[in-house]
Amino acid sequence: MPKQLATLGGGCFWCTEAIFSELKGIESVQPGYSGGRVPNPSYEQVCTDKTGHAEVVQIVFDDDIITYKDILRVFFSTHDPTQLNRQGEDIGTQYRSIILYHDDKQKREAAEIMQEAKDLWDKPIVTELVMFEQFYPAEDYHKDYFRRNPDKPYCRLVIAPKVEKFRKHFIDMLKSK
């Protein structure tokens, strides 16, 4: 059973998609919405902070190449899980830190990695750990946003530095270019 799903929210999904797309064993990364109560929300609806959804990525990965725990180690190293309902200047519940587990094994492993991640941060981790229910893909213009728009101000000022730091820290886990 090498093909697995992971659903994670660590702030803006443009950032998380850019990071996870570069890891060996990741077959696809789809930005979208999850964790809320409104079916088939639009980006505009999610941005109102009234749908309950977070911006997330749904990752298809090969468990023979990269483990769920390793994905979570990258997750906790590439966003600030101590900020409630925000990442940097991105503020709102849609930017919350959230792990949506797909089964009991993922729940157990996520709890273990959250415990391990406490050593990385000076403040308490506020990442939500909740059962996955539904994923709604984001609109097409969000897919591969960083790769397609490297010169946009948000990409240059926020995503690019985060991706560079990630590449240096996880160099052994990167796909060959």
Structure confidence by residue, pLDDT tens digits, 74-115: 999 999 999 999 998 899 999 999 999 999 999 999 999 999
Residue type for position 163: V
Taking only the tens place, the pLDDT of each residue in 31-46 is: 999 999 999 999 999 9
CA dist 135 → 50, 146, 154, 177 (Å): 17, 21, 25, 30
For residue 176, the model assigns a pLDDT of 82
Residues 99/54, Cβ–Cβ less than 8 Å: no
Task: Locate the domains of the chain by residue range.
Answer: 3-173
Three-point CA angle 142, 146, 151, nearest 5°: 120
User: 3-173 belongs to which CATH class?
Assistant: alpha beta
Residues 132/6, Cβ–Cβ less than 8 Å: no
For residue 127, the model assigns a pLDDT of 98
pLDDT at 57 over 90: yes
Region 13-20: what's the mean pLDDT? 97
Where are the alpha helices (H) located in 51-103, listed in sequence order?
68-77
The catalytic residues are 12
